[in-house]
A and B are shown apart, each in its own frame.
Chain A
Amino acid sequence: MIDGEEEKLIRSAVGGDSSAFGSLYDRYQPAIYRFIVVKVGSREEAEDITHHVFLSAWTKVRTYKHRGHPFSSWLYQIARNMVIDHYRSRKDDVSLDKLDPESSIIPAVAQSDLSIKLELEKVHRAIKELKPDYQDVIILRFIEDLPLKETATILKKSEGAVKLAQHRAIKELKEKLGDESLEEE
């Protein structure tokens, strides 16, 4: 839910206050970056897209209408559209195998433990094989821990539809992983 401080920042940013927008950037940039990097699988591409997401948000923020949803919902929607545009404009689909190992998206904390690293890479590869809507549900609901309502707002779906998509996404992900040891809670 949106708090008083965030509402104040949004109002100032809409009024053209760059420092207020800077604060919103600091607050939401890591989450938006994660959302993008898990979907595109490349740090460089994710950085480019993230930059454009916030640049677009900054130039459009005057037209932002606060409808009671968190500011992040608006940013996620911009990010989703930019990722779609990114795939449309991309001529050749670069597979994960061809990516530079140095630019792996796996977090630094997991790099030390080889088994966790391999597990994460395997799951990430499986997520990438899901259809975009399922990827979004997995990232927003299970990685970012967003509430159902906010996820529904971002994906422009009903909460029921999100629940259904979430169930199917997890089922399909487990099938792709082909490992029954990955229990679902």
Chain B
Amino acid sequence: MKLHDILKQFKNIEPDAEFSQRSRTEILLTPQNARQTWRGMFAFLHVLETGVAVVLAGFFILILTGSFSPTHSISPIQYSVIDPQGLHAEAQAIDMQIQLADVEYPETTTTAMTGSAVTSTAALTKVFAAALGTQSTSSISTPAATTGQSTSTASTTPTTLTVDQALQQLSH
């Protein structure tokens, strides 16, 4: 007997009729919609999951590349204020000159000078004069000179001395 003929004999295999009828009835009584609904829900969740994954990936890529920083829009602190270069430029631009104007002894210039600022300036002048050890400085009047010439004190020409100049003189 040829192999092909033997194989053809297998085509005579038939399922049990009772089984076929029972299975058919059972299958056709099974509702289709229940499974379809779940399938739809799973499909929707799958799409949602994919969408969320894409959005998160994009967000992290933006953060990693540095083109987006939440501090610009969220943080109340403006970091540009503490920009070191800006601060340096501002520091350079500040006029640090301190004028020592109308330096007079308080005893002789009480009438001419008013205000506590003048008094403190005079006191400062005393210190400078003592430190310099000179009485002939044109810019600062010494107590002795002013004592002897109390009337002319008021007419003494005030000289402006910057802090740098004063410190420079002190250093000599």
**Which residues of A line the B interface, CB within 8 A?**
16, 18, 21-22, 25-26, 29-30, 33-34, 37-38, 43, 46-47, 50-51, 54-55, 58-59, 61-62, 105-110, 116, 119-120, 123-124, 138-139, 142-145, 170, 173-174, 177, 181-185
Inside 8 A of A105's CB, which chain B residues have their CB?
13
Tell me if B's interface is mostly helix, strand, loop or mixed.
Answer: helix
Is B24 an interface residue when CB atoms closer than 8 A count as contact? yes
B contacts with A, residue count (CB < 8 A) = 26
Q: State whether A58 and B8 are in contact (beta carbons under 8 Å apart), knowing that A38-B13, A47-B19 are contacts in the complex.
A: no
Check A16–B32 contact: CB distance below 8 A.
Answer: yes
Task: Write out, one digit per residue, whether chain B residues 151-172 have a CB within 8 A of any chain A CB (1) or not (0).
Answer: 0000000000000000000000
Pick the contact of A116 from B9, B20, B26 — CB < 8 Å?
B9
Given contacts A30-B14, A30-B15, A59-B32, whether A120 and B3 have CB atoms under 8 Å apart is no
CA distance A124 to B35 in the complex (A): 38
Main SS at interface, chain A: helix
Which residue of the partner chain, among A33, A55, A116, A184, contacts B30 with CB atoms under 8 Å?
A: A55
B15 CB contact (under 8 Å) in A38, A47, A144: A47
Q: A47-B19, A58-B30, A59-B32 are in contact. Are A184 and B3 (CB under 8 A)?
A: yes
Question: Is A33 within 8 A of B15, CB to CB?
Answer: yes
Chain B contacts to A: CB under 8 angstroms? 1-4, 6-16, 19-20, 23-24, 26-28, 30, 32, 35-36
Top 9 A-B pairs, shortest CB-CB distance: A107-B12, A182-B3, A33-B15, A142-B7, A18-B28, A51-B23, A59-B35, A143-B10, A107-B13
Q: If the complex has contacts A58-B32, A59-B32, A184-B2, are A110 and B27 also in contact, measured as CB distance less than 8 A? A: no
Which residues of the other chain, B, contact A26 by a CB distance below 8 angstroms? 24
Closest to B32 in A: A59
Docked complex Cα distance between A137 and B9 (Å): 16
- With A55-B27, A183-B3 in contact, is A107–B16 under 8 Å at CB? no
A57 shortest CB reach to chain B, Å? 8
Q: How far is the CA of A37 from the CA of B13 in the complex (A)?
A: 9
> Considering the chains assembled together, what is the distance between the CA atoms of A75 and B35 in angstroms?
19
Shortest CB–CB separation between residue A38 and chain B, in angstroms? Answer: 6
Q: How far is the CB of B17 from chain A (nearest CB, A)?
A: 10
Of chain B, the residue at the smallest CB distance from A29 is B20
